[in-house]
A and B are shown apart, each in its own frame.
Chain A
Amino acid sequence: MPPGSQWYDAEAGPLVRPYAVTGGRTRSGPGGVRFDLIALVEADDAAADRRGASLLGPEHRALLSLCGQDARSVAELSADADLPVGVVRVLLGDLLEAGCVRVSRPVPPARLPDEWVLREVIDGLRAL
């Protein structure tokens, strides 16, 4: 074991209460949507402008700007916005409801991608 490390709690972070930014809500939208960590999120800027982004909080706007250029995964948004995934999910639920983002599910669960996709991945890894 590397010096200074312990089995217990080296990986657990500090105690936090970040759900303040969601007004105490811990899950998103009325549909109980739960975004996968690798669901890809893309801002719909036109819609965001149209619908008065002023109604959204600073964290909402931060997320929107992070996925304004390219689609970003939920995990990346969480890391870059420095917000726990749980919080990001709630905020994304708001944004989805407001029509400000598009969210695409990457791969349906329990279904592996086609063989040619895997081939492409292998060739791609080799070429890196």
Chain B
Amino acid sequence: MSLEHVHSTDGEEAGDSSSLALKILVAGGFGAGKTTLVGAVSEIRPLRTEELLSEAGQLVDDTGGVDQKTTTTVAMDFGRITIRSGLSLYLFGTPGQDRFWFLWDELSQGALGAVVLADTRRLEDCFPAVDYFEHRRIPFVVAVNCFSGARTYAEEDVARALDLDRGTPVVLCDARDPASGKDVLIRMVEYAGRMHTARLLESVGQGAGPE
């Protein structure tokens, strides 16, 4: 057994390809409404999955000495939306704490896109998520969770305050409302499609360019 394989992400069996599962991440600061949103749109009771961490905050991956390690679990929100038999969306609420960043790396592998939930009273809490997805070129929309009592802002104000790249959608939502949550997801998928097409054109343009 070689340790190099431990983090290999492409070891899964290629198999029956008739089933498609798409992954969408839900990120944002603590209390922004991630758990609420996932629960509102998911057709199954909200589940939480757990990963194992060593004390150092890394995934436990080595073969030896597990029992000498203190391990802890980290919970993630998780939900599913079945589009049709064989086509499902899976939602993952990303853990908000800094020391769980490495979990994001796994979660974002092959993700269709992300929703960054923002609370206008603490807009800065979603900076790390915005940075993360921008750097990795993962399509995302910013969903402003309109808490009662919070001043409402225009989409453009939020986009400016977050210094978003041009074209990144900002959607006002109520994370508790399934219809509102669905709208957010639709905007996300539409945007992911546009980004995908733009990148294809970009790569075709480069490939076909004069030599």
A interface residues (Cβ-Cβ under 8 A, vs B) = 1-2, 5, 7-19, 24-27, 30-40, 42, 71, 73, 75-76, 78-80, 84-87, 96, 102-113, 115, 117-122, 124-126, 128
Chain B residue total in the interface (Cβ 8 A): 69
B interface residues (Cβ-Cβ under 8 A, vs A) = 1-2, 5-17, 19-23, 30-31, 44, 47-52, 59-63, 66-67, 70-75, 78, 80-81, 83-84, 87, 89-90, 92, 95-97, 100, 106-107, 109-110, 112, 182, 185-186, 189-190, 192-193, 196-197
Report yes or no: B16 in contact with A32, Cβ–Cβ below 8 A: no
Q: Which of B12, B16, B47, B90 contacts A80 (CB 8 A)?
A: B47
Report yes or no: B110 in contact with A107, Cβ–Cβ below 8 A: yes
Report yes or no: B1 in contact with A30, Cβ–Cβ below 8 A: yes
Report yes or no: A5 in contact with B62, Cβ–Cβ below 8 A: no
Besides A11-B96, A40-B21, A109-B109, 10 other CB < 8 A contacts? A17-B66, A19-B66, A36-B9, A36-B109, A38-B90, A75-B49, A104-B17, A115-B196, A118-B193, A122-B193
| 23 chain-A/chain-B pairs, Cβ below 8 angstroms | A10-B30, A13-B75, A15-B72, A16-B73, A17-B66, A32-B1, A32-B5, A33-B11, A34-B7, A34-B9, A75-B47, A76-B47, A84-B73, A96-B13, A104-B12, A105-B15, A107-B22, A109-B110, A110-B110, A121-B87, A122-B189, A124-B84, A125-B186
